[in-house]
Amino acid sequence: MLNSIEKSRKCHGKVDCHSTSSQSSVTGSLPKRRQDLLKWNGWGYKDTEFILNEKLQVELTGTRYKLSGMVLPLLKDWMLNNFNVNLDYVRPAQPEFSAADLPSPVINKPFLEDLQTSGLEHSLDCHDRLFRAHGHTLNEIWALREGSFNRIPDLVAWPTSQVEVMQMVQLANKHNVVIIPFGGGTSVTQALECPSTETRMIISLDTSQMHKILWLDEENLTACLESGVTGKEIEQRLASRGFCLGHEPDSYEFSTLGGWVATRASGMKKNIYGNIEDLVVLVRTVTTRGLLEKSCNAPRTSSGPDLHHAILGSEGTLGVVTEVVVKIRPLPECQKYGSVVFPCFQDGVSCLREVARQRCAPASIRLVDNEQFVFGQALKPENNSLVQSFLDGIKKAYLTRWKGFDINKMCVATLVFEGTLKEVEAQEKRVYETAGKFGGLPAGEENGERGYFLTYLIAYIRDMGLQYGIIAESFETSIPWDRVTDLCHNVKDRLRRECKAMGMQHEPFASCRVTQLYDAGACVYFYFAFCIRGLSDPVKAYEEIESAARDEILACGGSISHHHGIGKIRKKWLKQSISGVGVDVLQSIKRTLDPQNIFGNGNLFDAAVPISKL
Amino acid sequence: MIRAIPSSKFFLHVCAKQSAGWVLGDFCRLVALQLCSSGSIRRAMSFSPKRKGTYEEILHHRSQQSDVGWSLRSYTPPQYRYCSPRRPIDVGTAVLASPIIRHTVLQLSEEDGSSVERLEQEAEAIVKEMGHDLGMGAIRLFAFVLSKAWRRIYKAIYVNSEHLTKLQGLCKDYPVLLLPSHRSYMDFLLMSYVCFAVNLPVPVITAGADFMSMKGVGSLLRKSGAFFIRRQFGSDKLYWAIFTEYVQSLVRNGDAPVEFFLEGTRSRAQKSMGPKLGCLSAALEPYFKGEVADIYVVPIGISYDRLLEETLYAYELLGVPKPKESTSGLLKARHVLSGDYGNIHVSFNAPISVHEYFRAGVDRSVHATLPRYMSSHSVEEVACTQSLAVDVLLQQQKAIVLSPWSLVAAILLQHSQPGGMGVAERSQLEGVGVAELAEEVHWLKLQLENFGGRINWPGGYTTEAILMDTLTVHSDLVSVSNENRVYLKHVDDVKSKNAALDPVTMATAVRHLTLALYRNQLLHVFQNLGLVALVVTGSQENEISLEDLYKKFMFLRNLLCKDFIFRPCDVEKDFNGVLLGMKHTNAIVQENNHILVAPSVNKCTVFMSRMFEPFLVAYWVLCQFLLTHNRASWKIRDIIEGTQGLEAAMLNHGMLHHYEILSLELLSNAVNGLIHCGAICREKAAFHGNRANMR
């Protein structure tokens, strides 16, 4: 028993990867020249991508992930069948941009002179600038592969401490220069996009060189971290001291603590550790008016509205998050995956609802629908062992023949248990018992683990899809329990329907999963992909469809976003979501903290026109 | 083996086995009676081919010839993809367990202190009274029996196939509401029969609770999918909650298409009545609340060449009480099963996506902050539902395939007035020549087609042949002499309980009204044309400005809004449309912005204005009645009965000739129309005669 637990922990996708990056606190996991380590026009590490090998099978290159170097024999057929594509139709990405392809920088000379005097590190290199002109929203990746940018940052700066950030902000304020804070660059809401109408000089303030753990307090279980540290780095460094943060959004390899605060991020294991708003004890934000911070590390205060919540979710419009005191936990003794198959989605949702009612959710519990279940099956690596494939055959036969599961309806819940050995055992027992009441059958660790892998690899798969004319994106929402199933059905229906209305002959891939459980509802995450062959403007088509899907979500009683945020793509629904008065409140905070609109990335809402510049 | 047993016995055996414990009672006896009687099955006539355009015949032309084989055939209709299969009784259980019922019970208990248990028992009783019990056994039994019975009396049942494939696909993806027009008891059975025949899922049907009391038949109807709603339950909150939840439960789970009649009750006058919104808004709520992605609404127009209830309707319209539905009544009515009732046309119109329809006008997210069980419709939702209901009625009308007999009835009704055609009078005394009638029918058919009416007019036959065929079907009403003259048959004097009407008046009125029923079926085609014609032919001037014409047109539409279905926002569009049509057919002559009256008073406008004249006459008499009796307030019934008396007197004195104005429904519409126009106003329980101004 113990053996298997240890094994599964060792296999846990993230722990063993990226061993090159040192434990040293001198260089963080993200270099200044990110394009040396990461793809300039796609997701993740340069050395990792899905390719078609000479046998025309899908293979994951590199060595970073558990599946790296493996062949996924089923994936190609899944792709061909689900999207009605053929491999002759390719849309190769354009070659890397040169300076001539990019807008030339707007230079505020006095500012640049002051900056040079100050000695703050910065760059005017076009590739540095381009890398910070985008997140990973579909249209941004599309622009990199097949399009162009009409506005990118004019300069990139790398402050190394809060003091340097304060210097930067003061300079910017003095010279009326725009600052766009840049963390991991994994935004999927166009939050990092430079407003095309912006005529002032735009500085991308890259926080990646602020990646230190400033202190760790074992007695109070808190740590003070600089905001530019990535999730993976945090966990690695805390683990070496026997602790963890436990915040694992799907992007956690690259996304940073400051970014999590700025977007109100949510981690997969929030059932144990909480979402970002539950994890922060103190946040320091540099604004144009000075430092916004609290006076103590007390766990909770009543002192008027909590100003942390003005910063959480502010999406870089108010200032730069520089330092955060977070709660930490001792590393769990044991971590284990699990999975349960259900006859149909509705049964799965009922089970999750019951788990939430009993408040017995393990660290993570996610329910994927049938489409994603089938997709997950297609990610099985090549099976060299005859015994294994024989066993798989038996498992399938057992489910479909004996238990009467319909392969076209069944779905799976994936589980992560964490805690002491005893706790994990008890949790497992309770969850599997509850699942049994809804027709759920335990389906092994492997299925669970694969489910979580999919999460880390999905963006790599998207890049491969783009190569063959398939565009894909995800979006999410949160919604009360009684509406979860209807929302899933309706949104998927709406996606299929809008595609049909656009004249697409083949049904899109529309899939969802319930990823977070709360007392009053759940978070639902959608994957959506379709073949763009024959569409004159695929990105516009995608945006229209997603917009319709968001309307459907709101009509079903869902929220505008659970954790991705507003950015620019969801601005039009903000007023509907928080009322006109609500927008006014946000506007007035913005006016107070940033009257000149220095933090002018244009997220959330259109800031009122800056008050006259003398 | 099967062939060795006479099919009827075998079938009954099978059905009895399938449905052990049924209360078949009288109905089974009726079935046996039909099966054992000797009449031969009528052969489909050449007028009724297997296929006409997009219409297919489903009664006589089937690939499977034996009724037993057909009704027991494998039947696998499409099913809604998110339906979790359940037994009919589970629907009731789910309703009782639903949050809305639990909430309502608690609320009522708090309000009037009655115990929760008692209310729950009451709820259970209501659900039991309401619940359908749809099962394939009853459907197959009906399929078999009705095939036998209908083949004797109907030449053909035509179903248009153009939207069926789409509809079958939609049934898999979305809940579906079937909304047929309602002009006969038969609609109810016919719809289920047709669905079974064309492989659509058999619907559950909202039926009036008055059927329920029919011994044996009530339970048989339940088994064929009916669920029963009390006609009046006013402010009974518990009943209302159960009714809406019952409907919504069916829509949400998509157990079967839900069928109901928008008009609420059979349209005895054979023209569409204003929609009742209760059932529709209840059925649409799951869409508004985001419980289903969409709902498809299917307008269906059903038309009968000859109605089973034709004289019954005439009596009812005159105020002779409707006989209570009873099984023995049904058995007595079986003599109808020997006549010739021509064709039936069932026209499915294009399914309407509620989502597409409401997309622009409704923001569903307003329901996001209330628990789902709390019933609420936003103002926009109510308005859109109303508008959808009107559209569905208009689509039903558009889909309806008229019988040539409607044309004949319209012509025979044209009244003898100085200079008029006088066909009706003559047809009773000296008859009308078939050739003359055929010419008129042909003319009217052209007008009908010009203005968008659909008529059953088989190709390759002369008008006279078609006329003779339809006259044969209606030989109860007309006869054709050896000299080829058409006579209206005499109706025996009727003893009337209604003091206002003497037997002779009653008899004439019944004859006129019976014809008027069939004429009414085509009025929707000409409703705008008729109003323009009324204005033009009634003008004293040499010319009418378009502006003036439009004003008067609008006034008439307002006034007649309860008698005809208009979409209020389309006044201008309808006006321009009909004007254009009339100019094209030379029915009116326009110069600059004026209509020249003299050339515009022609055969078309005169005919049309006469067709609509009776309505105005009835409204006028009603106003006369109100003006002569100078009273502060009236009960609505007194106005109607009083007016009917006044009309009878005027008819007897020869001042009026339109016996159809005696129709109580017409007078009731008149009252409501005048209320709508603001000529009289409604008080809480009484009616107050204001100054009723006509023009």
Q: What is the pLDDT of residues B527-569, one digit of tens each?
A: 999 999 999 999 999 999 999 999 999 999 999 999 999 998 9
Lowest mean pLDDT among A184-198, B209-223, B566-580: B209-223
Task: Give the confidence band of B6 by pLDDT, cuts at 50, 70, 90.
Answer: very low
Q: What was the pLDDT predicted at A2?
A: 40
pLDDT digits (tens, 9 = 90+) for A339-358: 999 999 999 999 999 999 99
Task: Give the confidence band of A391 by pLDDT, cuts at 50, 70, 90.
Answer: low
* B173 contacts on A by Cβ (under 8 Å): 493
Q: What was the pLDDT predicted at A89?
A: 87
A557 and B173 within 8 Å at the Cβ level: the answer is no
In angstroms, the Cα distances linking A528 to A37, A138, A488, A538, A546 are: 28, 11, 12, 13, 9
Residue B504 near residue B525 (C-beta atoms within 8 A): no
Listed in sequence order, the DSSP H helices in A474-537 are 484-501
Residue A450 near residue A367 (C-beta atoms within 8 A): no
Mean pLDDT over each residue of chain B, to the nearest integer: 85
CA atoms within 13 A on the CB side of A397: 6
Q: Rounded to whole angstroms, how far apart are CA atoms A395 and B35?
A: 56
Task: Give the SS3 label for residue B71.
Answer: helix
Query: Residue B419 pLDDT more than 50?
Result: no
pLDDT digits (tens, 9 = 90+) for B355-408: 999 988 899 999 999 999 887 889 999 999 999 999 999 999 999 999 999 999
Query: Residue B24 pLDDT more than 60?
Result: no
B84 and A554 within 8 Å at the Cβ level: the answer is no
**Chain A touched by B641 (CB under 8 Å):** no
- Token pair of A18 as six digits: 């990226």
Residue A179 near residue A598 (C-beta atoms within 8 A): yes
**Chain A touched by B360 (CB under 8 Å):** no
Task: Give the confidence band of A11 by pLDDT, cuts at 50, 70, 90.
Answer: very low
Residue B513 near residue B271 (C-beta atoms within 8 A): no
Q: Among A346, A557, A576, whose Cβ lies nearest the Cβ of B290?
A: A557
Task: Give the confidence band of A453 by pLDDT, cuts at 50, 70, 90.
Answer: confident
End-to-end Cα separation, chain A, in angstroms: 72
Query: Residue A540 pLDDT more than 80?
Result: yes
* Closest listed residue to residue A245, CA positions, set A364, A359, A325, A361: A325
B368 and A490 within 8 Å at the Cβ level: the answer is no
CA distance A369 to chain B (A): 14
Q: Rounded to whole angstroms, how far apart are CA atoms B587 and B585?
A: 5
Q: What was the pLDDT predicted at B280?
A: 96
B293 and A555 within 8 Å at the Cβ level: the answer is no
Query: Residue A108 pLDDT more than 70?
Result: yes
Q: Alpha-carbon torsion A368, A373, A377, A378, what sign?
A: negative
pLDDT digits (tens, 9 = 90+) for B640-686: 999 999 999 998 888 888 889 999 999 999 999 999 998 888 876 44
* Closest listed residue to residue A327, CA positions, set A204, A182, A223: A223
CA distance A493 to chain B (A): 7
pLDDT digits (tens, 9 = 90+) for B253-293: 999 999 999 998 889 999 999 999 999 999 999 999 999 99
* A552 contacts on B by Cβ (under 8 Å): 290, 293
CA distance B236 to chain A (A): 28
Residue of B nearest to A345 (CA): B82
CA distance A483 to chain B (A): 7
Residue A476 near residue A561 (C-beta atoms within 8 A): yes
A400 vs B332, which has greater pLDDT?
A: A400
Residue A505 near residue A531 (C-beta atoms within 8 A): no
B364 and A482 within 8 Å at the Cβ level: the answer is no
pLDDT digits (tens, 9 = 90+) for B172-201: 999 999 999 999 988 989 999 999 999 999
Write the burial class of residue A405 (CB in 10 Å: 0-12 exposed, 13-18 middle, 19+ buried).
buried
Q: Among A487, A493, A554, whose Cβ lies nearest the Cβ of B365?
A: A554
B365 and A483 within 8 Å at the Cβ level: the answer is no
* Closest listed residue to residue A137, CA positions, set A604, A545, A543: A543
Q: Rounded to whole angstroms, how far apart are CA atoms B329 and B311?
A: 15
B290 and A490 within 8 Å at the Cβ level: the answer is yes
Write the burial class of residue A176 (CB in 10 Å: 0-12 exposed, 13-18 middle, 19+ buried).
middle
* A557 contacts on B by Cβ (under 8 Å): 290, 365, 367-368
Which residues of A are marked as active site? Answer: 525
Q: What was the pLDDT predicted at A144?
A: 96
Residue of A nearest to B364 (CA): A555
Q: What was the pLDDT predicted at B333?
A: 58
- Token pair of A99 as six digits: 């300076």
Quickly count helices (H) and strands (E) in chain B: 27, 21
Ramachandran angles phi, psi of A419, nearest 5°: 145, -160
Report the DSSP beta bridge partners of residue A285. A292, A321
Task: Give the confidence band of A179 by pLDDT, cuts at 50, 70, 90.
Answer: very high
Q: What was the pLDDT predicted at B188?
A: 86
DSSP string, B79-142: --TTPPP--HHHHHHHHHHSHHHHHHHHHHHHHH---HHHHHHHHHHHHHHH-----HHHHHHH
pLDDT digits (tens, 9 = 90+) for B110-169: 998 889 999 999 999 999 999 999 999 999 999 999 999 898 899 999 999 999 999 999
Q: Among B82, B290, B363, whose Cβ lies nearest the Cβ of A556?
A: B290
Task: Give the SS3 label for residue B480.
Answer: strand
Mean pLDDT over each residue of chain A, to the nearest integer: 91
Ramachandran angles phi, psi of B175, nearest 5°: -65, 150
Q: Which of A556, A560, A572 to mutate to test the interface with B (most CBs of B within 10 A)?
A: A556
* A346 contacts on B by Cβ (under 8 Å): 82, 84
- Token pair of B532 as six digits: 């323009």
* A486 contacts on B by Cβ (under 8 Å): 290-292
CA distance B393 to chain A (A): 27
Query: Residue B500 pLDDT more than 50?
Result: yes
Q: Among A483, A489, A557, whose Cβ lies nearest the Cβ of B293?
A: A489
Residue of B nearest to A493 (CA): B293
- Strand A509-517 versus strand A364-368 pairing type: antiparallel
**Chain A touched by B292 (CB under 8 Å):** yes
Place of tokens 């656009």: A502
Q: What was the pLDDT predicted at A9?
A: 41
Q: What was the pLDDT predicted at B489?
A: 81
Task: Give the SS3 label for residue B344.
Answer: strand
Task: Give the SS3 label for residue B657.
Answer: coil
Residue A427 near residue A417 (C-beta atoms within 8 A): yes
Q: What was the pLDDT predicted at A389?
A: 63
Q: What was the pLDDT predicted at B350?
A: 96
B293 and A483 within 8 Å at the Cβ level: the answer is no
Query: Residue B692 pLDDT more than 90?
Result: no
**Chain A touched by B84 (CB under 8 Å):** yes
pLDDT digits (tens, 9 = 90+) for B310-337: 888 888 898 876 555 556 555 555 555 6
Q: Rounded to whole angstroms, how far apart are CA atoms B530 and B441?
A: 18
* Closest listed residue to residue B254, CA positions, set B182, B204, B328: B204
CA distance B367 to chain A (A): 7
Beta strand residue intervals within B587-663, DSSP E: 589-591, 594-596, 633-634
Lowest mean pLDDT among A104-113, A250-259, A443-452: A443-452
Q: What was the pLDDT predicted at B694?
A: 38
Q: Among A489, A497, A557, whose Cβ lies nearest the Cβ of B368?
A: A557
CA distance A139 to chain B (A): 27
Residue A255 near residue A249 (C-beta atoms within 8 A): yes
Q: What was the pLDDT predicted at B496?
A: 60
Q: What was the pLDDT predicted at B330?
A: 56
Q: Among A490, A554, A558, whose Cβ lies nearest the Cβ of B293?
A: A490
Listed in sequence order, the DSSP H helices in B224-353 are 237-253, 278-288, 310-318, 327-332
Beta strand residue intervals within A34-107, DSSP E: 50-52, 58-60, 71-72
**Chain A touched by B290 (CB under 8 Å):** yes
Q: What was the pLDDT predicted at A386?
A: 61
Neighbours of B649 (CB within 10 A): 14
CA distance A372 to chain B (A): 18
Task: Give the confidence band of A402 by pLDDT, cuts at 50, 70, 90.
Answer: confident
Residue of A nearest to B367 (CA): A557
B367 and A557 within 8 Å at the Cβ level: the answer is yes
B291 and A486 within 8 Å at the Cβ level: the answer is yes
- Token pair of A468 as six digits: 């063959």
Q: Which of B84, B288, B291 to mutate to test the interface with A (most CBs of A within 10 A)?
A: B291
* A512 contacts on B by Cβ (under 8 Å): none
Q: Give residue ranges of A with CB < 8 Å to any B CB.
A: 346, 482-483, 486-487, 489-490, 493-494, 497, 552, 554-558, 576
Q: What is the pTM of this model?
A: 0.89
* Closest listed residue to residue B179, CA positions, set B123, B272, B260: B260
* A477 contacts on B by Cβ (under 8 Å): none
Q: What was the pLDDT predicted at B497?
A: 63
Q: What was the pLDDT predicted at B501?
A: 77
Task: Give the confidence band of B25 by pLDDT, cuts at 50, 70, 90.
Answer: very low
Task: Give the SS3 label for residue B691.
Answer: coil
pLDDT digits (tens, 9 = 90+) for A49-72: 999 998 889 999 999 998 899 999
* A555 contacts on B by Cβ (under 8 Å): 290, 363-365
Residue B120 near residue B105 (C-beta atoms within 8 A): yes
Q: What was the pLDDT predicted at A527?
A: 94
**Chain A touched by B82 (CB under 8 Å):** yes
Q: Rounded to whole angstroms, how far apart are CA atoms A591 and A594?
A: 5
Query: Residue B45 pLDDT more than 80?
Result: no
* A576 contacts on B by Cβ (under 8 Å): 365
Query: Residue A302 pLDDT more than 50?
Result: yes
A483 and B290 within 8 Å at the Cβ level: the answer is yes
Task: Give the confidence band of A387 by pLDDT, cuts at 50, 70, 90.
Answer: low
A555 and B290 within 8 Å at the Cβ level: the answer is yes
Kindly state the percentage of chain B with pLDDT values over 90: 61
CA atoms within 13 A on the CB side of B391: 19
CB pairs under 8 A between A and B: 36
Mean pLDDT on B221-233? 87
Q: Which of B79, B82, B100, B358 to mutate to test the interface with A (most CBs of A within 10 A)?
A: B82
Q: What was the pLDDT predicted at B525?
A: 96
Write the burial class of residue B594 (CB in 10 Å: 0-12 exposed, 13-18 middle, 19+ buried).
middle
A391 vs A432, which has greater pLDDT?
A: A432
B290 and A487 within 8 Å at the Cβ level: the answer is yes
- Token pair of A216 as six digits: 């760790």
**Chain A touched by B370 (CB under 8 Å):** no
DSSP string, A347-396: HHHHHHHHHHHHT---SEEEEE-HHHHHHHHHTPPP---HHHHHHHHHHH
CA atoms within 13 A on the CB side of B331: 16
